[in-house]
């Protein structure tokens, strides 16, 4: 029963991608190999991207900026031409292919004040 317990523990620790130290059949410590090497860590890191901040942009510009990093856009609240909020927020790290929800409102008109 002890051997099965150690084997299960070894498998769980290997799946976690870490080097583990355990006892097996009283033969001393056994070092388990890492499953995830540095090359695979780089591949995993390339599956995430930083969400660009698209607040203030039009739908076309926001969609283009999101598509450029591997994300998609969907419209949440409608009410104008410019993005006023997004979820997830800009600078958030997400998995490629994530959909960013964009809320729109009318752009604020510029007012020129003469003195």
Q: Domain limits of the chain? A: 2-36, 47-105
- Please say whether the beta carbons of 107 and 80 come within 8 A: yes
**Any idea which fold 47-105 has?**
Trypsin Inhibitor V; Chain A (3.30.10)
| pLDDT tens digits for range 21-41 | 444 455 666 555 555 566 666
Closest by alpha carbon to 86, among 69, 77, 61, 70?
77
- Please say whether the beta carbons of 81 and 75 come within 8 A: no
| Secondary structure (DSSP) of 22-49 | EE-TTS-EEEPPPSS-HHHHHHHHTTEE
| pLDDT tens digits for range 52-92 | 999 999 999 999 999 999 999 999 999 899 999 999 999 99
């Amino acid at each position: 029963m002890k051997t099965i317990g150690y084997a299960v523990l070894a498998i769980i620790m290997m799946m976690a991608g870490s080097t583990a130290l355990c006892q097996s059949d009283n033969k001393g410590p056994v070092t388990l190999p890492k499953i995830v090497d540095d090359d695979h860590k780089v591949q995993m890191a390339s599956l995430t991207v930083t969400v660009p901040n698209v607040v203030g942009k039009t739908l076309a510009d926001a969609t283009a900026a999101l598509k450029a990093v591997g994300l998609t856009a969907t419209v949440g609240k409608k009410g104008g031409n410019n993005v006023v909020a997004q979820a997830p927020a800009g600078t958030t790290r997400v998995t490629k292919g994530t959909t960013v929800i964009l809320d729109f409102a009318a752009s604020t008109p510029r007012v020129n004040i003469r003195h």
